Amino acid sequence: MKIPTIDLSAAGKDPELVSKLIVEACEEYGFFKVINHGVPHHIIKTMEDESFHFFRKSLPEKQRVGPANPFGYGNRKIGLSGDTGELEYLLLQTNQNYIANTSLLISNINDDDPSKFSNTVNDYIGEVRRLACDILGLMSKGLGLPLSVFTTLLTDTDTDSLFRLNHYPPTASNNPIGFGEHSDPQILTLLTSNHVPGLQLSLGNGHWLPVTPDPQAFCVIIGDLLQAMTNGRFVSARHRAMANTSSTESRLSMVFFGGPPPQTTITCPPQLLKGRNIYKPFTWADYKSHTYAHRLGETRLDHFKL
Ligand SMILES: C=C1C[C@]23C[C@@]1(O)CC[C@H]2[C@@]12CC[C@H](O)[C@@](C)(C(=O)O1)[C@H]2[C@@H]3C(=O)O
Ligand SMILES: O=C(O)CCC(=O)C(=O)O
Ligand SMILES: [Fe+2]
């Protein structure tokens, strides 16, 4: 099987076709790649450089950001429920105040420009949020819904999106897992990585498909909320990242998780509902607390089944 790759530059000429291809990919795999996405290369490159700049710092310097509970700098411990993996990461909220404060903590008085990190993150997040909204618009179109049904989830003033920088250094550890199997809880994830492989997509029954790294592309991963909002028509893709044992170079992934305002009710819009609802309505705040109280590998959406 080959991961669907969708050329977004074709959406200008033939939006119907692109929407159809996106909907098919969401139904079959909950995962696809987009190319010609319009995010300028220099924005991605600068974000990558800043990330490596951060991860090269000494441990005490990185720890100045504060421990990841859940936001901050994490090393091997993932989340608050005992999961571990061969990586270090920065998990950030995406609001401007949080980014500005974090940037101050990251910069060293004599060394870094205190606004360099925040400018870079804000530029990057601005671009990927725009891309996420474009993709949600095409999904709505493909499903025959008004564009706003999905796009407002990420454009309201108090959206709850996250940004994660994952660094997988070369390791001789005998733990093969970098970031264990899971689905992302939010609406939609946009992931890009450098050229070092590691990401795998679950095909079920213990079969895994390695995702060939392509720094020019974004991987689009359907999250649990979109599975619930489409009444199971779209599937949230289970994925994992292997530890970086075969490369002498570090792997870096940069991951935007598009989440709606916490009080948003997650339910299938009536225009889309065929038959009965699989899930009871819940808010993103409800789902988030459920997620954070459970282990990475659990199928957390099942808890909200009717
Ligand atoms: C073990 C956990 C880490 C996680 C919160 C959770 O309790 C279960 C979901 C995990 C996940 C996966 C996708 C994203 O990387 C993430 C930020 C998210 O929203 O859900 C992480 C959480 C985390 O690292 O804190
Ligand atoms: O690093 C990767 O490729 C996967 C990371 C991931 O799945 C996540 O951060 O949720
Ligand atoms: Fe993920």
Q: What is the chain's mean pLDDT, rounded?
A: 96
Q: Whose CA is nearest to atom 1 of ligand 2?
A: 253
For the segment 67-79, the average pLDDT, to the nearest whole number, is 97
Task: Supply the range of the domain harboring residue 80.
Answer: 5-295
Answer yes or no: are the C-beta atoms of 242 and 178 closer than 8 Å: yes
177 alpha carbon, closest ligand: 2
Q: Which of 251, 276, 295, 300 is an active site residue? A: 251
Strand order of the β-sheet with 207-210 is 177-182, 239-242, 199-204, 207-210
First to last CA, the chain: 33
**Which pLDDT belongs to residue 247?**
87
Instruction: Look at ligand 1, atom 16, and give the residue with the nearest C-alpha.
Output: 184
Per-residue confidence at 301, pLDDT binned at 50, 70, 90?
very high
Whether 129 is a known active-site residue: answer no
Average pLDDT over residues 226-248: 96
Alpha helices in the chain (DSSP H): 15-28, 41-55, 59-62, 96-106, 116-143, 148-155, 224-229, 284-292
Total domains in the chain come to 1
| Three-state secondary-structure class, residue 87 | strand
Q: Which residues are registered as beta bridge partners of 208?
A: 202
How do residues 105-160 score in pLDDT, each as one tens digit? Answer: 998 766 678 899 999 999 999 999 999 999 999 999 999 999 899 999 998 878 99
Ligand nearest to the CA of 78: 1
Closest CA to 149 of 135, 136, 162, 158: 136
301 found inside a domain = no
Maximum C-alpha span of the chain: 63
Q: Do the domain assignments include residue 303?
A: no
**Residue 199 has what pLDDT?**
98
**Residue 189: predicted pLDDT:** 98
For 26-62, write each residue's pLDDT tens digit. Answer: 999 999 999 999 999 999 999 999 999 999 999 999 9
Q: Which two tokens stand for residue 23?
A: 């909907």
Using CA atoms, how far residue 104 sits from 66, 107, 125, 229, in Å, is 12, 5, 18, 38
| C-alpha 39 chain-centroid distance | 16
In this structure, is residue 167 part of a structural domain?
A: yes
pLDDT given at position 1: 82
Confirm whether 234 is domain-assigned: yes
- Residue among 198, 129, 135, 146 at smallest CA distance from 169: 198
What are the backbone dihedrals phi and psi of residue 225, each rounded to the nearest 5 degrees, phi first? Answer: -65, -35
Q: Which residues contact 147 (CB under 8 A, 6 or more apart)?
A: 137, 140, 141
pLDDT confidence of 89, banded at 50, 70, 90? very high
**Among residues 234, 242, 240, 243, which one has the least CA distance to residue 266?**
234
pLDDT given for residue 110 in this prediction: 64
Model pLDDT, residue 108: 72
The pLDDT of residue 163: 98
Q: What is the pLDDT of residue 109?
A: 64
Given this model, what pLDDT does residue 156 score?
81
In a domain, 43, yes or no: yes
Q: Which residues pair with 252 in a beta bridge?
A: 167
8 Å CB contact between 164 and 92: yes
Distance, CA 134 to ligand 2 centroid (Å)?
Answer: 22
What pLDDT is stored for residue 107 in this prediction? 87
Distance 13 CA to ligand 3 centre (A): 32
Residues with CB under 6 A from ligand 2: 164, 166, 179, 184, 191, 193, 198-199, 239, 241, 253, 255
Higher pLDDT, 113 or 91: 91
Asked if residue 302 is part of any domain, the answer here is no
ipTM greater than 0.90 = yes
The answer to whether the beta carbons of residues 154 and 132 sit under 8 Å apart is yes
Of 153, 188, 205, the residue nearest 31 (C-alpha): 188
Q: Is residue 215 part of a domain?
A: yes
Q: Compute the distance between CA of residue 292 and CA of residue 288 in angstroms, rounded to an integer.
A: 6
280 and 304 in contact (C-beta within 8 Å)? yes
Q: Which CATH number belongs to the domain containing residue 153 in this structure? A: 2.60.120.330
270 occurs within a structural domain? yes
Report pLDDT digits (tens) over 186-228: 999 999 999 999 999 999 999 999 999 999 999 999 999 999 9
Atom of ligand 2 nearest to the CA of 178: 1
Mutate to test the pocket of ligand 1, among 87, 179, 296 (most ligand atoms within 8 A of CB): 296
